Amino acid sequence: MTVSEMQSIFWSGLAWPLVKLLLAMAVSLLMALFIESLNWTHGMARLAAPLIRLGHMSEAAGASFSVSFFSGLAANTMLSEAYDQGKIDKRELILANLFNSLPTYFLHLPTLFSITAPLIKGAAFTYVGLTLAAAFLRTAIILLMSRFMLPARVETTSFDVQRKGKIDWRGAMNKAKKRFTRKMKRIILYTVPIYSVIYFLNRWGIFDSLQDLVTSKMTWFDPRLISIVVFHVAAESTAGMAAAGALLNTGSLGAREVILALLVGNVLASPMRTIRHQFPYYAGIFRPRLATELLVASQVFRVGAVIVLGVLYYWFTA
C-alpha cells in the first residue's frame, strides 16, 4: 500500500468522520448552551409537563425530552450541563437519559420504515410495530421507576414557576460562547482518542471477530435464519433486511420466521453498534465512566424490552 493510499484511507476512514462528529457535537453544544442562556428550558419543559410530573423529574429533564425529538446530541448535552451544574443528580441523569429513548426512536422511525417496507413489505408493519411497542414499554417502566425513585418536587407538580430575568440575544450568545469553549475542550479531549481507538479496533477486525464468535454459537438456529442474523449483526441492519426480503420473496421463509430473526439480529447487534457509534461521543459529553454507565443502562432496557416483545410475539403466533 502506497503512502498516498494510506493517507486517503486515514482521511476518509478516520479523520473526516471524526471532524464531522466533532462539528455536529459543537453545533449541538452551542445550541443547548444558547437555549439555556435564554432561559428557554422552562418553556420547552412545558411540552412534556404531564409526563415529567408523573415521573417526578425536573424542568431540565423535561426540556431535554422535548429537544430529543429534534436532536439526541443536543438533548444529551443539556442533561450533561444540568448535571455539571447540580440541577439534577446522577440518578435523575440516568433516568432522564433513558426516558429520552422514546423521542430518539421517533426521530429515526421514518428512516427505519422507509428501509424496511420495500424489503420485507407487509412484515415491516409487524416488525416496526414490535420495536415501537418495545420503545413504549421501556418508557412506561422508566416513568414508573422515576416516580418511585425520585422525590416529588414543586417544579414538577407546577410549571407556573416564574421565569428568570430576561437576557438579550447578544448577552446569551456571549454567555454561551464562554461555556462552549470550556466544554468543547473536554469533549475533544475524550472523543478524539476514544473514537480513534475504536476505529483501529474495527479496522483490525476485533469487532468482526466478536460478531463471528456470537453467530458461530447459534447452532440451534435454522441455517436460513442465521443468514439474516449474521447480515444484521456483521453489517448494518439494511443488509439483514435485504437478506430477509430475499428469503421472504422466494418463499423460503414465512413472515413470522423473518420477523423473529430480525428481532434476534436486533438484540445481538445493538450492544456492538452502541460501542462503535455512540460511546465516542457519549464519552465526550459525559466523560468515559459515566458514559459507560448510561450506555449499559440504555442497552439493558432496550434489549430487555425487545426480548419481551419478541417472546410475546413468538408465543402468540405459535
| Predicted pLDDT of residue 125 | 93
pLDDT at 34 > cutoff 80: no
pLDDT at 40 > cutoff 70: no
Range name among 62-66, 192-196, 218-222, 284-288 with the lowest pLDDT average: 218-222
pLDDT at 235 > cutoff 60: no
pLDDT at 164 > cutoff 50: no
Name the grid cell of 200: 483501529
Range name among 32-36, 71-75, 215-219 with the lowest pLDDT average: 215-219
pLDDT at 175 > cutoff 60: yes
* Gyration radius of the chain over CA positions: 22
pLDDT at 228 > cutoff 50: yes
CB 177 within 8 A of CB 85: no
| Predicted pLDDT of residue 218 | 57
SS3 track for 22-76: HHHHHHHHHHHHHHHHCCCHHHHHHCCHHHHHHCCCCHHHHHHHHHHCCCHHHHH
Tell me the backbone φ, ψ of residue 251, rounded to 5 degrees: 80, 10
The amino acid sitting at 175 is K
pLDDT at 86 > cutoff 50: yes
Average pLDDT over residues 201-210: 71
pLDDT at 45 > cutoff 60: no
Range name among 78-87, 203-212, 289-298 with the lowest pLDDT average: 203-212
Q: Any idea where the domains of the chain sit in the sequence?
A: 3-159+167-316
C-alpha–C-alpha distance, residues 88 and 197, integer Å: 32
| Predicted pLDDT of residue 90 | 94
Highest-scoring range by mean pLDDT, 170-179, 269-278, 298-307:
298-307
pLDDT at 26 > cutoff 90: no
| Predicted pLDDT of residue 3 | 59
Name the grid cell of 113: 420504515
Higher local confidence (pLDDT), 4 or 129 = 129
The DSSP output letter for 165 is P
Higher local confidence (pLDDT), 208 or 283 = 283
- Interval 276-315: pLDDT, tens: 778 888 988 898 899 999 999 999 999 999 999 999 999 9
| Predicted pLDDT of residue 302 | 93
